[in-house]
Amino acid sequence: MEACIFRKGEILEKLEGRKNEIDEHLEEFRDIVQKDERFKVLASPMTMCRIDDVVLDRSAITSMNDVYFSNKLDDWKASDQKSSGRCWIFAGTTLLQYVMKKRLHNSKLQLSRNYFFFWDKFERANFFLEMCIASAHLPAGDRFVSEIFDKCGEDGGQFDQFVTIVSKYGCVPQCVYPETVSSNASLTMKK
């Protein structure tokens, strides 16, 4: 395969030679777009919505059925994590509830996601303080110190963190440790 190496300005010279051709193609495309009603219908959503929402093929989502899943848990209602970054806690809790409901023969069991969230924040606060102590000798503008302070209030996590929290602190029913306004809108805690 031949390598393509261009000197400074060479690309512009090559494009300049094709400028008329490019302009013709652009004008042709503009004419097509202006005459086609489908583009007029799409113009507003394309400028007012996120592109991934506009191009999403809803029929692909709505046509999904049990054939695509090797194990169907149950027909439980979807959980709403509201305005928080706790999807990893919700996913872990759903899996844990599935196992516990089967073992305890209790289809109504609901575990507290907020309980796991509290202990996650507790562990993160401890980690933050430990990192502050460990980096006390560094200047305030150090990149490591900046990273510690930038990441200290985040919600995001992963399954191994969930397992660690459950192993260390256990779990409680939703009625013992219910959701709160703060747990449902946790972004404010990061500020």
Residue 173's DSSP bridge partners are 111
Residues 45 and 84 grouped into a single domain:
no
pLDDT at 48: 79
User: Position of tokens 């029913």?
Assistant: 173
168 is a domain residue = yes
DSSP state of 141: T
What element of type H or E holds 188?
A: helix 187-190
Q: Residue 109 above 80 pLDDT?
A: yes
> In terms of residue numbers, what domain contains 162?
73-190
Distances in Å between the Cα of 141 and the Cα atoms of 54, 134, 165, 190 are 42, 15, 33, 20
Task: Take residue 131 and report the two structure tokens written for it.
Answer: 């990192």
pLDDT at 2: 45
Residues 88 and 182 grouped into a single domain:
yes
pLDDT at 44: 76
Residues 112 and 131 grouped into a single domain:
yes
Position with higher pLDDT, 158 vs 58: 158
Q: Decide: residue 37, CB within 10 A, 0-12 exposed, 13-18 middle, 19+ buried.
A: exposed
Overall average pLDDT of the 49-78 stretch = 70
Residues 53 and 84 grouped into a single domain:
no
Residue range 82-95, pLDDT digits in tens: 778 888 998 999 88
Residues 22 and 78 grouped into a single domain:
no
pLDDT at 34: 85
Spatial contact of 115 and 171, defined as CB atoms under 8 Å apart:
yes
Among 18, 39, 62, the domain-final residue is 62
4 is a domain residue = no
Q: Lowest-pLDDT range, 41-55, 70-84, 117-131?
A: 70-84
Cα 56–Cα 60–Cα 61 angle in degrees, nearest 5: 80
Residues 91 and 54 grouped into a single domain:
no
Question: pLDDT band for position 16 (50/70/90)?
Answer: low
Residue range 126-165, pLDDT digits in tens: 999 999 999 999 998 899 898 888 887 788 899 999 999 9
Question: pLDDT band for position 31 (50/70/90)?
Answer: confident
